[in-house]
Amino acid sequence: MDSSAVYPRPMLKQLPAYQSGQPPVETPGLTPYKLASNENPYAPVPQALEAMTAAVTAEVVQRYPETTYLKLRELISQTYEVPVDDVTVGAGSLGILTGLVQTFAGTNDDGSQDEVIIPWRSFEAYPIVIRSAGAKDVQVPLRPDSTMDLEAMLAAITDRTRMIMLCTPNNPTGTIASTSALRAFIQQVPEHILVAIDAAYLEFVRHDDVDNYLELYREFPNVAVLRTFSKAHGLANMRVGYSIATPQISLPLKVVVPAFATSSVGVEAAHASLMHLDDVLANTEKVVTERARVWQAFRELGYNPPVSEANFVWLPLGELAQAFSEACDAQALSVRAFHPEGVRVSVGELEANDRVIQVATDFAPRLQR
């Protein structure tokens, strides 16, 4: 080792690099579209933009925000009928998730690592957050139908397990676990293990047996539900997310989540957006309609997509994943390839969806049937 240089903790060698969705390749004559990051194709509600504009004054931006984000927490508390103290606001739900892992899992004094069970494939950020906290991610493969294998996740519990991540709808497959399936699952999880339900795409779910998973938080003191303003509310760049969890989780979490984690400008936008939740949900309806159209097209072409309850569709293309993604690039569309497993295609603008269906049509002869 070169003793004259700084060096990162050895654990960093084990971290996968986070691959963010890439911008589309520019092609003359084609409007480029990004279908790679599950962003909302529709603008935030106008009141959110107005609230932000109003919040950008010298007096506001030269000061730190009110650290507990009480105004937004009170609105969340009223909207979802939960105690205000059970709500923690942070820099996106990823900020909250990072805080949760740092609070509940890491490396112990004897060098042993706590274990965090995650479904896999799932949100790429999970292994990075868990490993950088010094804990160990235990990856439980999805079932062949791309849903979380809850039985296998139960079987993966050991004396070292401190936390279980559930992602529903799951990124990148769009599949969900129903409330009753999760209830049956959590009933069998020892109460000292934190169960974190990442529901980033909840507003896009149209399933009879999913409300908002808050009934599970009400039934089980070891459950935290994570939500975000990044997806349905169309405020990804504002970095506002939150968790709802009982005090045994929320109190230590609030110690770890950094003070001033997010800006009051973004929080004002989130507040205004939540005040107009009906309009936000009306926008999700448009995405859901397009999701059905895109999914149906992929299905008829033989791509075998699992039913999606999110704002994206998963194509289990295996070894063809990279080639499909390149075919999209050539048409000024960026999608997210997870080679050699599949490709995640976000539901976007009408024209973008039309074009990805055209790419899929042209590519279809390469599928093995």
Q: Does 127 participate in binding ligand PLP (rule CB under 6 A)? A: no
> Residue 255 Cβ, how far from ligand PLP at the closest point, in Å?
20
**Using CA atoms, how far apart are residues 85 and 258, in angstroms rounded to an integer?**
17
Cβ atoms of 121 and 341 within 8 Å: the answer is yes
Pick one of 114, 137, 198, 290: the residue that binds ligand PLP (CB under 6 A).
Answer: 198
What angle, rounded to 10 degrees, do the helices at 321-329 and 350-363 form? Answer: 130
DSSP-assigned letter for residue 338: E
92 binds ligand PLP (CB under 6 A): yes
Interacting residues with ligand PLP between 159 and 188 (CB under 6 A): 167, 171
Q: Which is nearer to ligand PLP, 162 or 231 (CB)?
A: 231
Of 86-94, 104-112, 174-182, 202-210, the segment contacting ligand PLP by CB under 6 A is 86-94
Question: Of 269, 277, 273, 270, nearest to 56 (Cα)?
Answer: 269
Which residue lies nearest ligand PLP, judged by its C-beta?
92
**Which of 231/271 has CB closer to ligand PLP?**
231
**C-alpha to C-alpha distance for 68 and 63, rounded to whole angstroms:** 15
**Which residues are CB-contacts of 362 (< 8 A; sequence separation ≥ 6)?**
327
User: Considering beta carbons, is residue 228 or 353 the nearer one to ligand PLP?
Assistant: 228
Measured over the CA atoms of residue 184, residue 185, residue 188 and residue 192, the dihedral's sign is negative
Binding of ligand PLP at residue 288 (CB under 6 A)?
no
Give whichever of 171 and 246 is closer to ligand PLP, judged by the CB atom: 171
In degrees and rounded to multiples of 5, residue 198 shows phi and psi of -85, 105
Residue 93 in the binding site for ligand PLP (CB under 6 A): yes
Report the distance separating Cα 110 and Cα 134, nearest Å: 13
Site residues for ligand PLP, 223-242, by CB under 6 A, read 228, 230-231, 236, 241
**236/323 with CB nearer ligand PLP:** 236
Question: Which chain residues interact with ligand PLP by CB under 6 A?
Answer: 38, 92-94, 123, 167, 171, 198, 200, 228, 230-231, 236, 241
